[in-house]
Amino acid sequence: MTLKPAAVIEDYVRRSIRLMAFQNSMPTWSVFFEPRPEFIEWCAATFDKSTCIDCGCGKGLLVSLLRHRGLDAFGLDICPPTDAFVDDVLAIDAPLFAYSAHMTAFVCRPCRGEWIHATIMRAVESGCPVVYVGKQSHYASDLEPLPYKIEHVMDGAGADGESVWLVTKNA
């Protein structure tokens, strides 16, 4: 079944109680996506004119590496950690952020939940491409139902062999 962006986003925004529920159930943070240099170089070559936003950035390792490579990057997380690699993680529910066409959103190793589809749809509908980084086994649930153009970019982007797809609006 193909999802309808307006319905998914509206449904998500109406259930704002999830923010509090999620914060109460997130006691610890780990780094999941550990980017390899090849991935950072691809980002530098592809998004040098863009603001990179890591949605659900957790400890912010990707943001830190992109900044070191000279990119404009920041992270947002519904529940920012106290010991992040960067000290300016925005505390916000990712589907509620105001994405725009001069940005590129990253969704890397997301924990399960409706926020994945809602975030990607909110960004893509705003003209903001999405870089999804995850395990091949999550492709079917996270990306396949989306009514967008999905291009495979690379495998082996991180220490756990994550794959990368670029999600954009169909022409």
Ligand X SMILES: C[S@@+](CC[C@H](N)C(=O)[O-])C[C@H]1O[C@@H](n2cnc3c(N)ncnc32)[C@H](O)[C@@H]1O
Helix (H) or strand (E) holding 27: none
Question: What's the closest the beta carbon of residue 93 comes to ligand X, in angstroms?
Answer: 5
Among positions 77, 121, 122, 129, the unique one binding ligand X when judged by CB under 6 A: 77
The answer to whether residue 74 forms part of the interface with ligand X (CB under 6 A) is: no
- By CB atoms closer than 10 A (0-12, 13-18, 19+), residue 158 is buried
Cβ neighbours of residue 113 closer than 8 Å, sequence gap 6 or more: none
Footprint on residues 105-164 left by ligand X (CB under 6 A): 108-111, 113, 115
Contact 148, 123 (CB under 8 A): no
- Each residue 19-58 as x (binds ligand X by CB under 6 A) or -, in order, gives ---x---x----xxx---------------------xxxx
Question: What's the closest the beta carbon of residue 92 comes to ligand X, in angstroms?
Answer: 7
Question: Phi, psi at residue 13, to the nearest 5°?
Answer: -65, -35
User: Under the rule (CB under 6 A), what is the footprint of ligand X?
Assistant: 22, 26, 31-33, 55-58, 77-79, 93-94, 108-111, 113, 115
